[in-house]
Amino acid sequence: MEGVDHLAHERNKTEFDVDAMKIVWAGSRHAFELSDRMARLVASDPAFRKDDRTRLGRKELFKNTLRKAAHAWKRILELRLTEEEAGQLRKFVDEPSFTDLHWEMFVPAIKGQGTDEQQQKWLPLAYKMQIIGSYAQTELGHGSNVQGLETTATFDPETDEFVINSPTLTSSKWWPGGLGRISTHAIVYARLITNGQEHGVHGFIVQLRSLDDHMPLPGITMGDIGMKFGNGAYNTMDNGVSKFDHVRIPRNQMLMRVLQVTREGKCVQSNVPRQLIYGTMVFVRQTIVANASTALSRAVCIATRYSAVRRQFGSREGGMETQVIDYKTQQSRLFPLLASAYAFRFVGEWLKWLYTDVTQRLQANDFSTLPEAHACTAGLKSLTTAATADAIEECRKLCGGHGYLCASGLPELFAVYVPACTYEGDNVVLLLQVARFLMKTVSQLDSGKKPVGTTAYLGRVQDLLHCCCDVQRAEDWLKPGVVLEAFEARSARMCVACAKNLSKFENPEDGFAELSADLVEAAVAHCQIIVVSKFIDKLQQDIPGKGVKQQLQNLCYIYVLNLVHKYLGDFLSTGCITPKQGSLANDQLRSLYSQIRPNVIALVDAFNHTDHYLGSVLGRSDGNVYPKLYEEAWKDPLNDSVVPDGYHEYVHPMLKQQLRNARL
């Protein structure tokens, strides 16, 4: 029935101020009001309709994306939206498009790596969309190993130009969004060669296509790399391939904020420290963590609402069946994912602060916290994206068979999100970087060098190697000090064990290769401390709103104790807790599930997702699932005719035993 809230009985159970929680989730009242306004603006505009996306062919799908991107830009100009508002509007359009890398990589790279003169020339063009940029780093043969890129940029002193060249098939640029069909320019990463000498990989602004007829410029071969995972998903994006055959560009199109090439071809280090580029990396990874919490919140919202609507088994004397959400097996799989969405949100907030702190320090030539910040953001990118990708798939399973329908929104959400585990650094490669930093930190402890930031706990390594967890009752697991000590002791002991095993190898690199699986596990343990500690820090703040802090405390300890349960082997094998304490953690976890159960619909309502943004029949805010699911089925093109195309050619002859005479 239209206009009826089928989840009203759930919302009536709520024990906290939902509007106040919306502010907490958004980060501030300003952020909430801005995102709410932009979400509603997109949802109310028929031009941004997306419910037909999975039914479109590739060409139609791509053209539809071009139309939406143009309409979004038109609305941004008409409404005179700020950069912040425009970013939110594009987010809620919720469709990967050629504009993504323009705003998220091309523009920030020019701002971060271009000289003042280069910024003055290129940024106005980019901000007005008079040029459309891509970010061409990854190649067919190299992704994570940036130093292995094969594209070359050789300086020609006679013409004062760089010659961009793809010397091999594997040096073809491969994957950049927008590159395939639309981008007019790209920042191309290539090996800088001057006077026969190599100077590492640098970025160059290269025009790809004519601004008049959009044809590729001489020497450049470009195209789309083909269909990707999913129906609509990332197939709305023209991920591209490009090869360069001795393409010439002016010398001043090398991004020269850090390293400059003179007219004579000499490389001169500028007075801008090269570490400044790491500030951009921290910013990008902070954005990825924030996006993880958003994607996870969408999946959890769908699965939670549908679990409250769906009833199965448990009927007594002809009464109603049991809501699926009331089964403990459903709660133990779903509620930790709800807690994770909030946990990732708050660690994302903290990363915003870290980015500001790192930027200020870099400008003051203070590089002391940079290695730790780099390791921290690399680890959190890996941890949150891997957990979110797994969680979206788990939410699909939690919705049973209907979760497999495109109408559930979950297959699309998964297909769009899962590349995050690979782009901006393969997750395992990033964890190995974290592990290297941890091993270096442990090796320097005897020299008196104190660990900083998120590794500060390793400065107490001797205490952590010998401490004993003092949990005696289940509720002791709700003490912040107890939790942090257990997680820090586990990480410290895993790090020290890895360092001891590494010391047995004559060649440290051989040891690192042999022990890489153990090192990855140690890195994960360290990164989990960061998420746990930032959630606990959040609870120390003044959080207004009736019952809001209590719900956040419940979510925090569900997140914490689920990790204890999931990684119980680590905690037991390192001697951080006893089997009895592990059992008590499970008891407390079950108790928290019961406490949070009346509030779960309100907790996903606090994400403030519009039905348009969720794009899910199962996750509808009014819970009117079954009539809408039935209605959705009839929209499929296969139902356009009663008798399907092909029946008379293939099926009818088979039924009438006439296949021998049929023209197949």
Low-confidence ranges of the chain (pLDDT < 50): none
- CB count within 10 Å of CB 66 equals 16
Question: Is the Cα dihedral 531, 532, 538, 544 positive or negative?
Answer: positive
What CATH number does the domain located at 277-605 have? 1.20.140.10
- The Cα 173–Cα 188 span in angstroms is 8
Which residue, 341, 358, 363, 237, is CA-closest to 293? 341
**Alpha helices for 420-547 (secondary structure H):** 427-443, 461-466, 480-502, 508-514, 516-539
DSSP 132: -
User: C-alpha 321: how far from its chain's center?
Assistant: 38
Instruction: Single out the catalytic residue among 95, 424, 485, 488.
Output: 424
- The Cα 397–Cα 511 span in angstroms is 40
180 annotated as ligand-binding = no
Question: Is the Cα dihedral 122, 128, 129, 134 positive or negative?
Answer: positive
Bridge partners, 185 (sequence order): 133, 207
Q: Residue 662: its pLDDT value, please?
A: 64
Per residue in 2-57, pLDDT (tens digit) is 678 899 999 999 999 999 999 999 999 999 999 999 999 999 999 999 988 999 99
Per residue in 333-368, pLDDT (tens digit) is 999 999 999 999 999 999 999 988 888 888 888 888
304 annotated as ligand-binding = no
Q: Residue 1: its pLDDT value, please?
A: 56
Q: Who contacts 631 (Cβ-Cβ below 8 Å, separation ≥6)? A: none
Strands 185-194 and 197-207: antiparallel
* CA-atom Rg of the chain in angstroms: 27
- The Cα 389–Cα 420 span in angstroms is 8
Helical (H) or strand (E) element with 249: strand 247-250
Q: Residue 612: its pLDDT value, please?
A: 97
Binning the chain into helix, strand and coil, the percentages to the nearest 5 are 60, 10, 30
User: C-alpha 355: how far from its chain's center?
Assistant: 17
- The Cα 461–Cα 444 span in angstroms is 12
Q: Residue 7: its pLDDT value, please?
A: 95
Bridge partners, 268 (sequence order): 260
Single-letter residue type at 52: D
Q: Residue 2: its pLDDT value, please?
A: 65
- The Cα 220–Cα 136 span in angstroms is 13
Q: Residue 3: its pLDDT value, please?
A: 74
- CB count within 10 Å of CB 638 equals 9
Q: Residue 273: its pLDDT value, please?
A: 76
Single-letter residue type at 69: A
- The Cα 574–Cα 469 span in angstroms is 12
- The Cα 372–Cα 434 span in angstroms is 9
Active site residue 424: yes
pTM (predicted TM-score):
0.95
Class for domain 108-272, per CATH? mainly beta
**Alpha helices for 399-426 (secondary structure H):** 410-417
Decide: residue 594, CB within 10 A, 0-12 exposed, 13-18 middle, 19+ buried: exposed
- The Cα 341–Cα 291 span in angstroms is 10
Strands 197-207 and 152-156: unpaired
Beta strands in 573-625 (DSSP E): none
Give the domain ranges of the chain: 108-272, 277-605
Q: Residue 660: its pLDDT value, please?
A: 74
Both tokens assigned to 172:
């073809």
DSSP 314: -
